[in-house]
Chain A
Amino acid sequence: MTVRMAHLCSWLVALLPVVVACFGMDFPSLDRPGAWLNILGRLTGVAALSLLLMAAILSARVPGFDRPFGGLTKLWQTHHQMGAVALLCVLAHPVLLALAAAEVSLSVAVTTLFPPFDHLATWLGWLALIGMVVFLAPSFHFLGEPEYGRWKWLHRLSGPVIVLALIHTFMLSRTMPGYATEMIWTIMAALAVAAVSWRFVISRRAGRLRYRVDAVDRPANNVVELKLLPAGRRQLHYEVGQFVYLVPYDRRLAAGYGEEHPYTLSSSPLEAGLRIAIKDLGDASRAIQHISPDSEVTIEGPYGRFFTDNNPGGELWIAGGIGITPFLARARHLARTGETADIHLVYCVQDEARALFATELAELAETLEGFKLSLHYFYRQGPLTGEFLSAECPDLAQRTAYVCGPLPLNQLAVRIVREAGIPVSRIHTEEFNLI
């Protein structure tokens, strides 16, 4: 199954209750606009709950589950889009029902939205709607760029919101036939509960592997590379270029103690331990620059599927800043396996001081057969251009492109390589702009 198919399937499953509702629905007097609006109002309610549950199911973060979807970051994009469509549906739902009732009279429209307080079902629906706006507002930047910790904390409101929405639906449900209502919502809710249980209970006990900080290297003044060795019996098995969630347990950290954050592994899977390069980009990653050697961390994963097999035309890697980590990992891995490859790495950085691991990469470029390195400095050469890429890598059109860096560079690089003739199917990006 292709990545596209996997995403399409998740959308189809998410919208299945809407299809069932359409089949189970009587369509009375559709010459009346009120009847249409009522049907649309009911269907948007079904779609909102269903998408919300599917988004919860997709957030489980079970290692390996993300692979058919092209990696966890791609899966999150679908999760994010489902959240957006669910929010649009949930906002349309009461408005459409009120407009449908307005056909009878204005007061019926208002009563539809604001019935007497003893009509619990409607008021629980309102609570779910308000809760949904609150927990999704940071995801869609309603109040500007959200702070990661607050966003994550608020996102936990999704649990109570789903419970409220389910009660609201069960109490009012009349859109689908009775047996279908109970069956569909029970199955989806059970899967969502299983997903959330995995995420917040099981994975914390069974999914997190204990590691110890063996060494802390400083490739730049705002970047550390941690070398981790297993502290428990179990070790992480991963593929090159994958990422993990790391939780530090160093009491001396100024921030981020016990908090999980995603980082790409910069080591080869053939190495004894793990290496993780972390740039100071926020409170927790700033604090971790001063993590004590010998302190404990836990690792959960691996996630992601950045590199693909079988690229007969060779590979073009475009890295920006700390986005070098998956490429560094792959180059280190090639050095260990001794494989030959046809790879051209274009490493874009602001200036020489920020060219992380430049010395190691230059050495690898000298020793690895078929591995070429080009450095692009923004301060000297301006933004990355098609001319620069074509001059450095004349056969780029036949290559498979891998891009990892800050979002603006990713977007620019994807545009350039597409213009250069690389089809979308041969362009792979890794983005960590989760919110």
Chain B
Amino acid sequence: MKKITFAAFIAFCASIITLLAVDALTPASHAGEANDELPVFTLAEVAEHDTLDSCWMAIRGKVYDFTDYIPEHPTPPAIMEAWCGREATEGMETKGYGRDHTPAAWAMMEPYLIGILAEE
């Protein structure tokens, strides 16, 4: 038991250090802040995509197309469908019962970013 726990502890430290080192040495992981070039959408435009076949959401001033992601989401599609075509920051921040999504979940949205929400 002593050897196993100690070996696991060393493996844990090695994994975390390796992950951090690879991340620090990969320039691509810090790129992608060029939001200025993204198209601007109004809430009305977002509202046109309110079905599972085309599901856009406005979250914290950005517009995302989650159509391809919905099958991957841990909840049944109906949960996300309710937020399609809408300002969905609240859904992201509360999950419907007051608990925020994890930072990883927030970071996972990035590949689905399609535009900036027009200011009212």
Interface residues of A (CB under 8 A from B): 26, 28-29, 32, 35, 80-81, 84, 87-88, 91-92, 94-95, 97-98, 101-102, 104-113, 115-116, 119, 122, 133, 136, 140-142, 171-174, 178
Contact = CB atoms under 8 A, between A and B. Distances in A.
B95 interface: yes
Contact of A105 (B2, B5, B9, B29): B29
B76 A140 contact: no
A105 B71 CA distance: 19
B68 to A, nearest CB: 12
A398 B97 CA distance: 65
A374 B37 CA distance: 92
Nearest to A97: B104
Contacts of B97: 178
A87 B6 CA distance: 10
Interface in B77-120: 95, 97, 99, 102-104, 106-108, 110-111
Interface stretch (B14-22, B41-49, B51-59): B14-22
Nearest to B97: A178
Contacts of B40: none
Contacts of B102: 112, 115, 119, 122, 172
Contacts of A116: 103
Contacts of B20: 110
Contacts of A142: 5-6, 9
B30 A107 contact: yes
Nearest to A137: B9
A28 B108 CA distance: 16
B72 A111 contact: no
How big is chain B's contact interface, by range?
35 or more
B19 A98 contact: yes
A142 B6 CA distance: 6
Contact of A113 (B11, B19, B75): B19
B8 A91 contact: yes
13 contacts: A26-B76, A29-B71, A84-B1, A104-B111, A106-B19, A107-B29, A107-B30, A108-B104, A108-B107, A111-B103, A112-B107, A113-B19, A172-B99
B102 to A, nearest CB: 7
Given A101-B108, A112-B104, A142-B5, 9 more contacts: A101-B104, A104-B104, A104-B107, A105-B29, A109-B19, A109-B23, A109-B104, A174-B74, A178-B97
With most chain A CB atoms within 10 A of its CB, the pick from B16, B107, B108 is B107
B73 interface: yes
A258 to B, nearest CB: 30
B4 interface: yes
Contact of A106 (B5, B6, B9, B22): B22
B29 A122 contact: no
